[in-house]
Amino acid sequence: MTDTSSRFETLVNPPQEIFDQLLKWSGETEGWSFQATDYDFWRDAYDGYWFFAVIEKESNSFVASVSLALLAPENEEPLYSIGMYYCRPEFRGNGQALEIFRKALAIVGDHNLTLWGVVDLSPKYASKFGLDKVNDCWHMCTTIKMIHVNLDVPISDEYQTKGLNEVDRQKVHEFDRTVCPKTRNRLMDRWFQCPQSYTKVVFDKASGNIVGYTTIRIMLKRKLSVGPMYAMNKAAASRLFHDVLVEIPEWRMHDDICFLHAASNADVTDLVSEYSGGRFESKEFMRGQYTKQFIPIPHQYVYSISDCAHAIV
Ligand SMILES: CC(C)(COP(=O)(O)OP(=O)(O)OC[C@H]1O[C@@H](n2cnc3c(N)ncnc32)[C@H](O)[C@@H]1OP(=O)(O)O)[C@@H](O)C(=O)NCCC(=O)NCCS
């Protein structure tokens, strides 16, 4: 066996340029699409954050990564999440990725851990690492090419949207708790500040209650990502989708827009179908899995989760 130990090095929370290399590689080989500033977001917003990267020392080139975040709200069980598990194709099969995955697991210890397992790896996470409390359905990646988006769709006038700054933030957090079983006020406040992000809150005009909110983000690789979109019904979701999209400057210049949602929520594909005249793609992508305790999510209100690296919803 060749001794590779002097050629490679494992770094924890390395400089941004290593994270940027991960985004470049994973974008090319897997089609992953994030923002370069997500690294700052995870470091700032979580109660603990470790980005493990294997690099080739001489060239300072990225080889493999895994990202570990800790959400530890007061008086709630801490929850760790793993994301950005990636290895450049030419280095796969050498055990380097698995080694940093194990380093992350060592930090987690006996606490609850979650990740979004992609279709190919999901059974392995369950059998090898005890991530066997799994969601009963897959999360779909549903994409509309922007040339197929037609905003000329009838929308109910029972709902109205407002910009985030016109709304009592505490009420937004209260609504968030109806969808997300963990308290994450600070985290979402930081999320709303991410650059290239457009957020609106939707109200039921009759009751004055918040019935949803969405953020649409401009990602690398000319993509838009709906993340998150929560709504109590499809009509409120439709209002949100329309009102946020038109606010994004030159939204038509992007290649496509993507939703990540549970297969069981047929309202998402209905909505997407309405706005695309049936021209969209939807494929099984991943599912939520946990080690200790499964955290159920009200999928019927989730039109798109916020972030497939570390968010549970
Ligand atoms: C997932 C990935 C990082 C693993 O890297 P790798 O170099 O292939 O894995 P290693 O050489 O370190 O490990 C070798 C073995 O452990 C398995 N393995 C690696 N990481 C694992 C994990 N976290 N859980 C379970 N099994 C794992 C591999 O499949 C392989 O098993 P096999 O010999 O039975 O086929 C790499 O395949 C990759 O980048 N894939 C594309 C991105 C992706 O899908 N990431 C996962 C997102 S959830």
Query: Can you give the pLDDT at residue 160?
Result: 98
Same domain, 106 and 188: no
118 Cβ closer than 6 Å to some ligand 1 atom: yes
CA of 97 to the centre of ligand 1 (A): 7
C-beta of 54 in contact with ligand 1 (< 6 A): no
| pLDDT mean across residues, the chain | 96
* Residue 173 or residue 222, greater confidence: 173
Q: How far is CA 7 from the centre of its chain?
A: 33
pLDDT range class, residue 279, cuts 50, 70, 90: very high
Asked if residue 259 and residue 164 are part of one domain, the reply reads: yes
| Residues 268 and 217 occupy one common structural domain | yes
- Give the residue-averaged pLDDT of 7-21: 98
Any ligand 1 atom below 6 A from CB of 212? no
124 lines ligand 1 (CB under 6 A): yes
Same domain flag for 270 and 145: yes
Please give the distance, rounded to the nearest whole angstrom, from the Cα atom of residue 49 to the centre of ligand 1: 22
Report whether 195 contacts 157 (CB < 8 A).
Answer: no
Helices assigned H by DSSP within 85-216: 96-108, 122-129, 169-179, 185-192
Going 143 to 43 to 60 to 55, the CA torsion angle's sign is negative
Let me know how many helices (H) and strands (E) the chain has, helices first.
8, 14
Q: Is 93 in the pocket of ligand 1 (CB under 6 A)?
A: yes
Q: Are residues 166 and 257 in the same domain?
A: yes
Q: Is the CB of 275 under 6 A from ligand 1?
A: no
User: Looking at the 3D structure of the chain, how many domains does it have?
Assistant: 2
Answer whether residue 42 is part of any domain: yes
Query: How much is the pLDDT for 221?
Result: 81
Mean pLDDT throughout 12-39?
Answer: 96
Q: Write out pLDDT tens, residues 103-128.
A: 999 999 999 999 999 999 999 999 99
Q: Checking DSSP bridges between strand 133-134 and strand 8-12, what pairing results, if any?
A: unpaired
Same structural domain for residues 160 and 104? no
Residue 255 sits in a domain whose CATH number is 3.40.630.90
Residues in contact with 181: Cβ distance below 8 Å, sequence separation at least 6, in sequence order: 295, 296, 297, 312
- pLDDT of res. 1: 43
C-alpha 199: how far from chain center:
15
236: part of which helix (H) or strand (E)?
helix 234-245
Domain that holds residue 21: 8-110
Q: What is the pLDDT of residues 38-53, one digit of tens each?
A: 999 999 999 999 999 9
Tell which atom from ligand 1 comes closest to the C-alpha of 286: 48
What residues contact 74, with CB distance under 8 A and at least 6 apart?
A: 183
Residues 170 and 261 in one domain: yes
Mutate to test the pocket of ligand 1, among 124, 260, 290 (most ligand atoms within 8 A of CB): 124
Q: Is the pLDDT of residue 2 over 60?
A: no
Average pLDDT value for residue range 265-289? 98
Pocket test for ligand 1, best of 121, 125, 260, 285 (most atoms within 8 A of CB): 121
Which residue is closest in CA terms to ligand 1's atom 30? 93
Atom of ligand 1 nearest to the CA of 116: 48
Range 94-99 average pLDDT: 96
Residue 3's pLDDT band, with cuts at 50, 70 and 90, is low
Task: Give 147 Cα–ligand 1 centroid separation in angstroms.
Answer: 36
Q: What is the pTM of this model?
A: 0.95
Q: What is the mean pLDDT of residues 74-85?
A: 97
**Rounded-to-integer distance, Cα 27 and Cα 164, Å:** 30
Are 80 and 147 members of one domain?
A: no
Q: Is the CB of 30 under 6 A from ligand 1?
A: yes
* Atom 1 of ligand 1: nearest residue by CA position: 86
The pLDDT, as a whole number, for residue 123 is 97
121 lines ligand 1 (CB under 6 A): yes
Q: What is the mean pLDDT of residues 215-219?
A: 97
Q: CA angle, corner 75, sides to 73 and 80, nearest 5?
A: 45
| pLDDT of amino acid 131 | 98
